[in-house]
Amino acid sequence: MTEKEKRDKGELYDANYDEDLEKERVKIKDLCFKYNNLEPFKQKERERLIKEILGNTKENLLIESNFYCDYGYNISVGENFYMNHNCVILDGAKVEFGDNVFIGPNCGFYTAGHPVEVDLRNKGLEYAKPIKVGNNVWFGGNVVVLPGVTIGDNVVIGAGSVVTKDIPSNVIAYGNPCKVRKEV
């Protein structure tokens, strides 16, 4: 089994010594570099390039520079998607955003994790667990979403939160760790 196949099954894999994964990451990092260095007034070129970077998009989306991801093809965004400056998506696994998702600056969505066992971690092994975000979700600035988290519909995640567990629909949640604080 290849390292990519292990990754896609959610098993421990070695991303650093797999030529195919390395080529995919280099390609997308080159595209992100181009995207991040395009002048803001070149809107058509920026739109074309971000749609080349991401795996699946709807029509209306805006991702501000700087934006970084690992593979791109594992990211899908719904209609009316907005991501503010300096956001990172580590997309070893799928990252899905529904419609009407708004993301504040300096946010991170990390599907990648590392073993707690020192010997495995020191071998460079990692795993990837998907992230899923529903419709009508707003993330304040500096939010971090960790591997394997699902966030429901009609949710507000407060600024500075670290989302370690699933968040149900129709709530306001915040904190470190992020917890439901109020139903809406």
3-state secondary structure 25-56: HHHHHHHHHHHHCCCCCCHHHHHHHHHHHCCE
Which residues are identified as catalytic?
114
Percent of the chain with pLDDT over 70: 100
Residue by residue, what is the 3-state secondary structure of 149-160?
CEECCCEEECCC
Q: How many domains does the chain have?
A: 1
With the C-alpha atoms ordered 52, 56, 61, 63, is the resulting torsion angle positive or negative? negative
The pLDDT value given to residue 17 = 83
The pLDDT value given to residue 9 = 94
Domain that holds residue 47: 3-183
Please identify every stretch of the chain with a pLDDT value under 50, giving residue numbers as ranges.
none
Taking phi over 0 as left and psi of -120 to 50 as alpha, with beta for the rest, 116 belongs to alpha
The pLDDT value given to residue 137 = 98
- Domain containing 165 — which CATH number? 2.160.10.10
* Backbone dihedral angles phi then psi of residue 119, each to the nearest 5 degrees: -60, -45
